[in-house]
Chain A
């Protein structure tokens, strides 16, 4: 059963059939999946959703697959953590972390988009899946391809973190590292996708892939008790997730699952790669590409395909955006770890640091509900923080040595208590 009626160009509105197409032939605009929302509203109710398995497929009427889901059966439905200790530090009342650092199976939000993309690739009959990636997407495509029994080719920049490289290779794909940055990888892959008959999840499967990002927004609303948050801070790289979280909220309102209420959406970028924030602050629609230079490699995309739609969603919502330095990103990774026990990668540090900045600026009020989007896991990017944490004290297995050490170090510092 499907509620998809076709594809449509987001720019000029031209219609296309459901096929592995991603670009409008008239204007090169991105193609979007079109649904029959009236039919969906008749069948999709809160109680039916709540009875379903705790995965992203519980929202399947609003996802673009026709047959039964084939993979990603445990992806999604990650925790929405009430972050009281972080809230106390930031001086706000109601703060949550939507924690995709523990998404199944590869610990980033990419498991959402890939679950949909590869399920759709199987429906289309592809036997090889592929992607251009800054790391997390490659991890997820590799794992899901292994599970589905598909051949897999991944393309990455040559300078990724070891955890991101091994974190793909273990699943048995063929990895090609490109001398260049992600934007160079993307350009090459676009030409490869044109020549080889593979399912590139972020190229010819893109309309379906991007729909998977909506599940992040559906879950936030459901986990808040079927209500919308007042403020959401989302990292921006290529620009997929932010407009899709916005779309998710609008869809839930449209089919009557939540009450309509204003949600302000904020974009977070690293200062070393902030083309969207620069355009936002300039008041322009025109995004000038940049050459990335930041430790936040997973979001180091200098030529964001959907940057225009990020600007539009942020502006239409009355939100804003900020960029933060690598030092602020590292500090924010440590802050999240030490207050909430969540270890995120630099992309998540970026979102936390930007949230802190926006609160300090008064852009985000202190007494309204706030959701910080944490989309990746810090265990994959140890290089980013390794030199900033306390190193182990090495001793022999003798009590006297520990006694001496303890005499020097004193009692461990107690974590600050959250005010009741």
Chain B
């Protein structure tokens, strides 16, 4: 339970209101699967039917967008922080 995942408001009903949860896994994909084990239903909010990260979901490891890394295959290690952030408008 050494990777910290920050949970955005729309997903907190799965985590009993927690805004941060600890989990483990060697990749982001494994972290998502681990979240699903502990908080059933959360994965389908994050990934589409084919298992890809949904269009309007951004996932960051220590502040870096996983699309600049290796998407769901991005490796994670003890002490890393993962953020799940909905897409936002702006300018």
The chain A residues found within 8 Å of chain B, CB to CB, are 11, 22-30, 110, 131-134, 136-137, 180, 182-184, 186-187, 189-191, 194-195, 202-203, 206, 209-210, 237-240, 288-289, 291, 298-299, 301, 303, 305-306, 308
In the complex, what distance in Å separates the CA atom of A30 from the CA atom of B83? 19
Contact of A30 among B8, B19, B54, B56 (CB under 8 A): B56
The closest CB in chain B to the CB of A302 belongs to B65
Q: Which residues of B contact A180 (CB under 8 A)?
A: 63
A-B contact count (CB 8 A): 104
The chain B residues found within 8 Å of chain A, CB to CB, are 6, 8-10, 13, 19, 45-46, 54-58, 60, 63, 65, 67-68, 83, 85-91
User: Could you jot down 19 A-B contacts, CB within 8 Å?
Assistant: A11-B55, A22-B86, A25-B45, A28-B45, A28-B54, A28-B57, A131-B90, A184-B63, A186-B88, A189-B88, A190-B8, A190-B85, A194-B8, A194-B19, A240-B91, A289-B68, A305-B88, A306-B87, A308-B55
The closest CB in chain A to the CB of B68 belongs to A289
Contact: A132 with B56, CB < 8 Å? no
The closest CB in chain B to the CB of A195 belongs to B19
Contact: A289 with B67, CB < 8 Å? yes
In the complex, what distance in Å separates the CA atom of A279 from the CA atom of B68? 16
In the complex, what distance in Å separates the CA atom of A134 from the CA atom of B89? 12
The closest CB in chain A to the CB of B13 belongs to A25
In the complex, what distance in Å separates the CA atom of A51 from the CA atom of B60? 51
Pick the 3 closest A-B CB pairs, nearest first.
A305-B87, A23-B86, A28-B56
The closest CB in chain A to the CB of B86 belongs to A23
Q: Which residues of A contact B85 (CB under 8 A)?
A: 187, 190-191
Q: Which residues of B contact A195 (CB under 8 A)?
A: 19
Of the listed residues B54, B58, B83, B90, the one surrounded by the most CB atoms of chain A closer than 10 A to its CB is B90
Of the listed residues B19, B54, B56, B65, the one surrounded by the most CB atoms of chain A closer than 10 A to its CB is B56
Contact: A305 with B90, CB < 8 Å? yes
